[in-house]
Amino acid sequence: MSDQDNPPTPPDEEQSEQEEAYAGALSKELADLAAPDLTYQPTDPKQYHPAIGLIACGGITAHHLTAYRAAGYNVVALCDLIIERAIDRRDTYYPDADVYVDYRDLLHRDDIEVVDIATHPRERVPLIEDALLAGKHVLSQKPFVLDLDTGERFCELALRQGVKLAVNQNGRWAPHVAYMRQAIAAGLLGDMITADLSVHWDHSWVVDTPFNDIHDLVLYDFAIHWFDMLTCYFGAAEPQRVYAATGYAAGQVPTPPLLAHVMVDYPSAQATMSFNANTKVGHHDRTTLIGTAATACSSGPGLQEQTVEIFTPEGVIRPSLQGRWFDDGFHGTMGELLCAIEEDRTPSHNAVDNLRSLALAFAAIASSHDGEPKQPGDVRRLPGFEG
C-alpha cells in the first residue's frame, strides 16, 4: 500500500483530535471518594492546663485571647507598656487575670509556665531571651526574628533550658492548609512536584499604621505564612534557589510595594507564589499542589472561605472542612505547644523548623532588591535591617 492510499493526518486535524480527546477526558465525571479522616483541627492537651501569660496586647491579640478563652486555656496575666490596653484585654476576655506594665514582673511569677510574646520582632528579642532564661515555654509571634543567627541562638538557649520554643505560624491550622499538609504527610499526593500559591486581597488597611513603614511588608510580614506553607508542603526537601520581584500597583495608597511574585527551585520540584495586595474587588486565594500520585487544590474568595479538592486516579476527594483560619489558627498554635509540653516532644511549629521558612523569606526579599537569585540560608538577616 502506498502512502497515497493512507495519507498522513494534516496537522490541523491532528491538533483538533487531540483537543477533542482532552475535552473528553475533562468531561468524564470523576467518582466522589470518601474523605480520609485526617487530623487537621486544633488539638488540646489531655491533662496539662498551665498558667499562661501574654506579653503585649496589640490588635492581633484579640484573636489570641478569643481562641484561648474558647479552648478553656488558663490565661492569668496580661502585660503591655500601655496599661489601658492590658486592662481592656483583661476586662474583655479574662476578668480575673492580673495586668502588668513591666514584662519582668510577669516572668518572675513561678506559677506561669507558658508565655505568649506578641510584640513586633525588634522589641521581641530581649523578651524571648529573658523568658527562656526564666524557664518559660515560649510561643513567639511571627515573623520570629530579624536575623537567622539570633534565631539559632534562641533555639540553642531553649534546648539548654529544657523548654519549648514555638512560633505562632497560625496559618498552619487554617483548615484548608492543615488538611492539605496532613494529606501530604499521609502520602496521598506522593512526591511533591509543584506548588502554585496565589493571593489577591486588599492590604490598604496598613495606611496610618506602623506597618506602612515596612518596605518589604508583603514578602516579610504577610508572605511569611506562605513561605511557611512551602516548608510544610515540601517537608525535608531543601530549597536550592529563590528568585523574587516586587512592584507598585496602579492606584495603590500604602507606601510599600503591593505586588510580588516568587519562584523557588527544589531538587526535583518547583514552587511559585504571587501576591496582589491591591485587589479592590474579587478577592481570591488559590493553591494547587501537584504530586506524583494526586493533585490537591484549594480555592475561595478569601483566606477564611476555602474549598479543598484532591484529584486521584480513582476519583476526587472533597472534604467538608470545619473551622476558619481566624481564630482556629491561634487555637492551633497554642494547643500544639501545650500538647508538645505534655507529651515531652518537639512541637511541630518549633523555632528550628520556622527558621527554614524565614531563610526562604530573607532570600526572596534579597532577590527582590537586586534582581539576582539567592540560596536560602546565605542571606542571614532581613535585608535592610540594621541591628
Distances (CA, A) of 270 to 185, 193, 245, 362, 374: 18, 6, 17, 18, 15
| Cell numbers for 350 | 518549633
| Cell numbers for 186 | 499521609
Amino acid at 279: T
Q: What does the angle CA 54 – CA 56 – CA 59 come to, to the nearest 5 degrees?
A: 110
Distances (CA, A) of 38 to 70, 138, 256: 23, 27, 39
Q: Which domains does the chain show, CATH number per domain?
A: 51-171 (3.40.50.720), 174-324+347-370 (3.30.360.10)
Residue 284's H or E segment, with its range, is strand 284-291
pTM over 0.85: yes
DSSP helix/strand/coil, 44: coil
**Full pLDDT tens readout for the chain, 387 residues:** 445 455 555 556 666 666 665 554 444 578 999 999 999 999 999 999 999 999 999 999 999 999 999 999 999 999 999 999 999 999 999 999 999 999 999 999 999 999 999 999 999 999 999 999 999 999 999 999 999 999 999 999 999 999 999 999 999 999 999 999 999 999 999 999 999 999 999 999 999 999 999 999 999 999 999 999 999 999 999 999 999 999 999 999 999 999 999 999 999 999 999 999 999 999 999 999 999 999 999 999 988 999 999 999 999 999 999 999 999 999 999 999 999 999 999 999 999 999 999 999 999 999 999 999 999 999 999 998 765
| Cell numbers for 307 | 474549598
Confidence at residue 266, expressed as pLDDT on a 0 to 100 scale: 98
| Cell numbers for 376 | 536560602
Alpha helices per DSSP H over 264-375: 325-343, 351-370
